[in-house]
Structure 1
Amino acid sequence: MGKWIQALIYFVLRRLMHRRYDVEVIGLEKLESLEGPVLVLPNHPAYVDPPIVLSHLRFGKSLRPLVFTDTYRSPLFYPLMKVIDAYEVPNLQSHSRDAHTKTTQLIEEVAGELNHGQSFLIYPSGRLQRQGYEIVGGARIAYELLERVDNVNVVLVRTRGLWGSRYGCAQEGDVPALGRNALASFFWVLAGLVFFLPKRKVTLEVHPVNRDELPMESKTALNRHLEGFYNADGGETAKFVPYNYFFGPREFDFDAVKKKGAVDLSEVPESTVHEVYEIVEHRLDRKLEESEKEPSTTLDMLGLDSLERMDLALELERQYGFRSDHVPASVGELCLLAAGKAPTDEQPLEVPEGWVDETKTSTDYPEILAETIAEAFVRRALQSANHTAVADPLSGALNYRKLLIGATLLSKRIAKLESKSVGIMLPASVAADSVVLATLIAGKLPVMLNWTTGPAGLRHATEKLEVSHVVTSKRFMDRLGVEIDGVEMFYLEDVREGISTWEKLRTLIATYIASGSFLSHLPQPNPDDPAVILFTSGSESLPKAVPLSHRNLIADMRGGIDHMNFHRSDTLLGFLPPFHSFGLTAASLMPLLSGIRVVHHADPTDSRMLARIIAAYKPTFTFTTPTFLQYIVSSSEPGELDSLRLVMVGAEKCPTSLYEQTMKILPDLDLLEGYGITECSPVVSGNKPGQNKPGTIGLPINCVETLVVHPESHEPLPQGEAGLLLIRGDSVFDGYYKYDAPQPFLEVNGHRWYNSGDLVAKDEDGFIQFRGRLKRFLKIGGEMVSLPALEAPLAEKFPADEEGPKVAVEGVEKDGGRCIVLFTTEDLTLREANDLLKQAGFHGIMRLDEVRQIETIPVLGTGKTNYRQLRGWLEEGSEVTANS
């Protein structure tokens, strides 16, 4: 019965097609003698050629077409797809490891169907033609199928006459919108009264081929053979055929479309372009010809199939930190992705329903309501149940009631995990907030994992804390491409599927009629028990595990709220990852516990999206690093950042050039520099609104005391003298976890102080001036040489931009003396660099010994310069291009 229905549909389709297309099939009679499964392999000039081929190749076989999921699932075509028994294919325009796996499975499944006698219509290129000839390139599906199936008839089809159709790429320069063009065609059909349409001449040349005659020694050989058949006549010139004899357009300027679609690399650094060439050459295992380096060179032409193109795009994302949902199709598009300039179809962001909360006023004080994290959250959630708590572009906006319900349901699953410590690996998001809170409600210890440390660093962290499970999401891991040995992944997607509607409803009802039960079921930790494990940044040494107690975190949050004079009407933009101490404490826990709305974005390097989020959600303040702020300011459009009244930067010195650039576009902004250390939960000091001294890291917050001592004698120093910064107070941790070396504490004046390892001085008003890391000083001839001080004037001359830092100074002491090196992306000689230092007032031993030009300055996931890697290059004697 099914075959008769299909035959009827194809008959009707053929008659409808005849109104617009004059189709001639050459060689159809050659198919009558075919026995067994058939694999039809046509070229693909337009979206309309599949129905033409399916309805005109009549030889007693039921062909199953492979159809991409976007078309397959379209409401307009889905019923037809089911009737003709189309085979759904994952869309590889969105690149991910999951799509990669599904495509591999697809090939195996289709091969199995062919071996069982099923026949298929498959396009070897896997995509629409982008020009008047077919490029199979590195596509693998035809080769993989023929490798797996011996007894299959191969039918090659060369379609001519459709290049230039509105259903192809010639008119738009890219893949056309199928639904929109179908509706436009329907309009023209009606306008032409169905029977009076100019016809487009189409020919289908059908050639059965003996499988044994195909060149199967390699994928490349087969694909070149297919291209030779499809393009035997030299390809096609785009042809426009009007839809009406009397009115409407009579011609089309195809050349203008070609010019419009050209890739412009004028704003991409030349160094980035050359790096992309090298990456592509490594992938191809050969050098690129000069002609192949043209921006318009498609990756198909280079022999890269859809899976290889996807892998290449993911590699560039991991290396450069920029993302795009579009898989690059050409060398030029690869360069744009690497430079963070991949084209996007920007639409104004829609703020989710419930985000605006007009019930809060500027007089409402943000208050933390308990002495442990889980209790403070539950009390806040019960008190502010209907107030907006958190949002992100993926999850929308959640009020406290919904957040409490989600965290409670998740906590019951996390409570069943075997180990006390639970790894958490998620970006800044509603999901990350929910998981941290759920883990604490479950009585477990959250271990915040820094995925930028790579597999070795992650394995080190999970082994040290004896983590058996890591909570994450498939979506995130799919994009990240990182694996952790020795642990089981606990995916949020699986958890959601396992929660019944009844359990959700029961928990919702409890928030109204049994709210006290949420408090009574909480664990009762001591405030001095660890609440979370973070890790040091690793910029100077291997990361160390930092246990922060409930007392540490809550003292720091309360101190920060008082210091900055926040209001509950404020809104925070939080995008630093939760493995970053500022990201967890200041941009996640602090707003959630105190009642301040927070909107998250998962990627701190996605500067363009961050600017758009600020424009849409209108946050009033944010915490960031100078590097990330530079990205945002450089990527923003006029007016997008106007809602910000306060920005606090830390983790590295804020360049004067960035301060001036930011204040120029936001003259009313309080751009404040602060100072924090993971071991101090993290905020130690900061400038205040209305009490700001640019160039300093401000005043200590009220929960800490600070002391400046001599770096060697540890004697307290008078005001104005630079020395070692010591810190004590409720926000200071109690020591590294499972740490064999001496703990970082000193006894001075009868008190135990945390040794920050940083050199500072205090001015007459008590403002702290940061002078650099003690570890980043070299002792030469009895004098201390500050590497950050040498770097500062060079960084002023060559400020960081959206591409990252341009200079970094590192040095080591060697047997033969010192070695202080300027690493730079600029074309700068040693003499020029030292002249700049002289102009800044440095003389004698305060000079550079070498300049090394490198493609990019290495940075950590937090945006900090990775000095440990630079120092490693010096200690290992790595060869880097040096300018003398």
Structure 2
Amino acid sequence: MGIPLLLQMAASVDPSREILVCDELRWTTVELDNLSARANTVLTRHRAACIAYIGLGGAMLPLLMFGAARAGLTFAPLNYRLSPAALLELISRLPEPLVVVDPEYRAVIGDTYPVLDTEEFMAAVAGAEPAEDTPTEAGDTAVLLFTSGTTSRPKAVELSHGNLVSYVTGTVEFLSAAPDDAALIAVPPYHIAGVSAACSNLYAGRRMVYLPRFDARRWIQLVADEAITTATVVPTMLERIVSALEDDPQPLPALRNLAYGGAKVAQPLVRRALELLPEVGFVNAYGLTETSSTIAALTPEDHRRAHGSSDPAAARRLGSVGRPVPGVEITIRAEDGRTLGPGEIGELFVRGDQVSGRYAESGSALDDDGWFATRDRATVDDDGYLFVLGRADDTIIRGGENIAPAELEDVLVEHPAVRQAAVVGADDPEWGQIIVAVIVAAPGGQPDPDELRTFVRQRLRGSRTPDRVVFFDQLPTTATGKVVRREILARLQAC
């Protein structure tokens, strides 16, 4: 079963259901099915092995993804925010690529590779006849995504048809959406959340409303105008939405669920959102590119129970990513491979049919039993709630002691004068590394460094106290809100 079947099933059962809205475009399931079959014809003509896409996404994401899949080709959406040199380097790693670009990015590619801009592509699709699908196997690569590369060279992750179908069918009931259900999709097309949103909402029969250029006020307006019932955002978007609603409250009566993920979200922001939108069910979704999206989720009920609890253990779960989704197993391991119990910190391993763990240039990273090492440090509590403490590569080793930056960051953001915090380890001849806290002050605030150090020391062990506190106007982040720590370290070294 390949991903085109997800679309064909929806089109055959409910062909007239409106499934996609993007600016002036409004397509039904049968229209998207027909257009993707025509896209198959257009893409096959170019005799490529991979369809790279550089652009804002919107309707082009599902059209190209399903069109490429029907042609038996791999779809590789790329980060349009990268420099021309970085984009060309990624394209050079793809097999026999055809590059499809939004017109504004056409000049970035030059003449090195075959290129088709999206206006030319849509004109060709309109004039093409539908082609028969090229048969695919479950293990064939459907989508190739490059990791964000916040600490190293981006990896080319291969997601098979089987991985994506397993994720969708394991977490979504076919055509379960009500006729008035609508999802607002504002995540980037090159992020796993964008790929999984197109597959899962289509399978559920939920109308997908795309916002290719995120703007908080435009997002709020679309939620009202399109009667959006569910949406997915990354942390930076959530903060801007919450701030906009605090400045200018707007009723969002249709909105029932709001999922956030892609990077760690500070608990003060989550609490603000819960209090601002008491009728909305929040979901914290945790996953990786290599796992075809979500592997654990903190449900709306979990959020409300944790937020209103006087029990410290229960309240702490607001900072967790919840429990594994159906079909996914997790375990925490020590460096020597031992399985760890509740409360013990180690590396998170995950297993399930949706887990790829396969890279284009190095093959499978799964162990003999099918477990994938996430490189995330984590722990679980007695009830199975998963707490992700950050990347293993980010661990600070100060005087031989391992320190997770997230532990300090969670404390620092609770200070009223701190808006954002990132903690990194800087090289030091005496300690090996020292702890540097990088702070973005809250509006109108400028906390004293010694006050912040005391604030941390009172809540954590003395060895966790920052050795230095520095202030940035903003933290360098990816489009999904992940802090780019190597850029912080580069700025610190340049000081």
Structure 1 residue 852: deviation in Å? 2.6
SS at match of 1:845: helix
Distance of aligned partners of 1:527 and 1:731 in 2 relative to their CA distance in 1, 3 Å threshold: same
Distance of aligned partners of 1:744 and 1:775 in 2 relative to their CA distance in 1, 3 Å threshold: farther
Identity percentage of aligned residues: 25
Distance of aligned partners of 1:813 and 1:556 in 2 relative to their CA distance in 1, 3 Å threshold: farther
For residues 813-828 of structure 1, the aligned pairs below 5 Å read 813-817=427-431, 818-826=433-441, 827-828=446-447
Q: Residues 321 and 385 of structure 2 are in contact (CA less than 8 Å); yes or no, is this contact kept in structure 1?
A: yes
Residues 725-771 of structure 1: per-residue CA shift (max 9 Å, x gap): 1001101114211139xx64445xxx231001112222222111222
SS at match of 1:703: coil
Does residue 737 (structure 1) correspond to residue 360 (structure 2)? The answer is: yes
Partner of 2:298: 687
SS at match of 2:165: helix
Partner of 2:487: 869
Q: Residues 423 and 470 of structure 1 are in contact (CA less than 8 Å); yes or no, is this contact kept in structure 2?
A: yes
Q: Distance in 1 between matches of 2:41 and 2:453?
A: 62
Q: Residues 627 and 864 of structure 1 are in contact (CA less than 8 Å); yes or no, is this contact kept in structure 2?
A: no
Distance of aligned partners of 1:557 and 1:528 in 2 relative to their CA distance in 1, 3 Å threshold: same
Does residue 464 (structure 1) correspond to residue 97 (structure 2)? The answer is: no
Q: Residues 829 and 851 of structure 1 are in contact (CA less than 8 Å); yes or no, is this contact kept in structure 2?
A: no
SS at match of 1:534: strand
Q: 2:392 corresponds to which letter in structure 1? A: L
Q: Distance in 2 between matches of 1:466 and 1:402?
A: 30
Partner of 2:31: 402
Q: Residues 333 and 349 of structure 2 are in contact (CA less than 8 Å); yes or no, is this contact kept in structure 1?
A: yes
CA RMSD of superposed structures (Å)? 2.5
Partner of 2:78: 449
SS at match of 2:26: strand
SS at match of 1:765: coil
Distance of aligned partners of 1:786 and 1:630 in 2 relative to their CA distance in 1, 3 Å threshold: same
Structure 1 residue 724: deviation in Å? 1.2
State TM-score, norm by structure 1.
Answer: 0.51
Q: Residues 642 and 666 of structure 1 are in contact (CA less than 8 Å); yes or no, is this contact kept in structure 2?
A: no
Does residue 664 (structure 1) correspond to residue 275 (structure 2)? The answer is: yes
Q: Distance in 1 between matches of 2:270 and 2:382?
A: 24
Q: How many residues are paired up?
A: 474
Greater RCO, 1 or 2 (C-alpha within 8 Å, sep 6+): 2
Q: Distance in 2 between matches of 1:635 and 1:543?
A: 34
Q: 1:764 corresponds to which letter in structure 2? A: D
Q: Distance in 1 between matches of 2:252 and 2:486?
A: 34
Structure 1 residue 677: deviation in Å? 0.6
Query: Which of the residues 169, 176, 198 maps onto 1:588?
Result: 198
Between Structure 1 and Structure 2, which shows a larger proportion of strand residues? 2
SS at match of 2:410: helix
Structure 1 residue 788: deviation in Å? 1.4
Partner of 1:810: 424
Q: Distance in 2 between matches of 1:523 and 1:682?
A: 26
For residues 643-662 of structure 1, the aligned pairs below 5 Å read 643-662=254-273
Query: Which of the residues 33, 48, 60 maps onto 1:431?
Result: 60
Query: Which of the residues 126, 129, 151 maps onto 1:540?
Result: 151
Q: Distance in 2 between matches of 1:835 and 1:568?
A: 55
Does residue 753 (structure 1) correspond to residue 363 (structure 2)? The answer is: no
Q: Residues 421 and 440 of structure 2 are in contact (CA less than 8 Å); yes or no, is this contact kept in structure 1?
A: yes
Distance of aligned partners of 1:544 and 1:718 in 2 relative to their CA distance in 1, 3 Å threshold: same
Q: Distance in 2 between matches of 1:643 and 1:491?
A: 37
Does residue 491 (structure 1) correspond to residue 117 (structure 2)? The answer is: yes
Q: Residues 426 and 432 of structure 1 are in contact (CA less than 8 Å); yes or no, is this contact kept in structure 2?
A: no
Partner of 2:307: none
Structure 1 residue 846: deviation in Å? 0.6
Partner of 2:311: none
Q: 1:836 corresponds to which letter in structure 2? A: F
SS at match of 2:462: coil
SS at match of 1:784: strand
Q: Distance in 2 between matches of 1:798 and 1:432?
A: 41
Q: 2:26 corresponds to which letter in structure 1? A: A
Residues 202-235 of structure 1: per-residue CA shift (max 9 Å, x gap): xxxxxxxxxxxxxxxxxxxxxxxxxxxxxxxxxx
Q: Distance in 1 between matches of 2:359 and 2:112?
A: 23
Q: Residues 657 and 796 of structure 1 are in contact (CA less than 8 Å); yes or no, is this contact kept in structure 2?
A: yes
Q: Distance in 1 between matches of 2:378 and 2:178?
A: 31
Partner of 2:20: 390
Q: Distance in 2 between matches of 1:777 and 1:765?
A: 26
SS at match of 2:463: coil
Q: Distance in 1 between matches of 2:15 and 2:417?
A: 46
**Stretches of structure 1 lacking an aligned partner (at least 5 in a row):** 1-370, 508-517, 880-884
Q: Residues 397 and 425 of structure 2 are in contact (CA less than 8 Å); yes or no, is this contact kept in structure 1?
A: no
Query: Which of the residues 350, 353, 370 maps onto 1:727?
Result: 350
Q: 1:592 corresponds to which letter in structure 2? A: L
State TM-score, norm by structure 2.
Answer: 0.89
For residues 595-606 of structure 1, the aligned pairs below 5 Å read 595-604=205-214, 606=215
Q: Distance in 2 between matches of 1:429 and 1:488?
A: 23
SS at match of 1:715: coil
Q: Residues 707 and 727 of structure 1 are in contact (CA less than 8 Å); yes or no, is this contact kept in structure 2?
A: yes
SS at match of 1:757: strand
Structure 1 residue 499: deviation in Å? 5.6
Residues 750-797 of structure 1: per-residue CA shift (max 9 Å, x gap): x23100111222222211122222222122334211111111222233
SS at match of 1:806: strand
Partner of 2:105: 477
Structure 1 residue 653: deviation in Å? 2.6
Structure 1 residue 484: deviation in Å? 5.9
Q: Distance in 2 between matches of 1:764 and 1:791?
A: 24
Q: 1:548 corresponds to which letter in structure 2? A: L
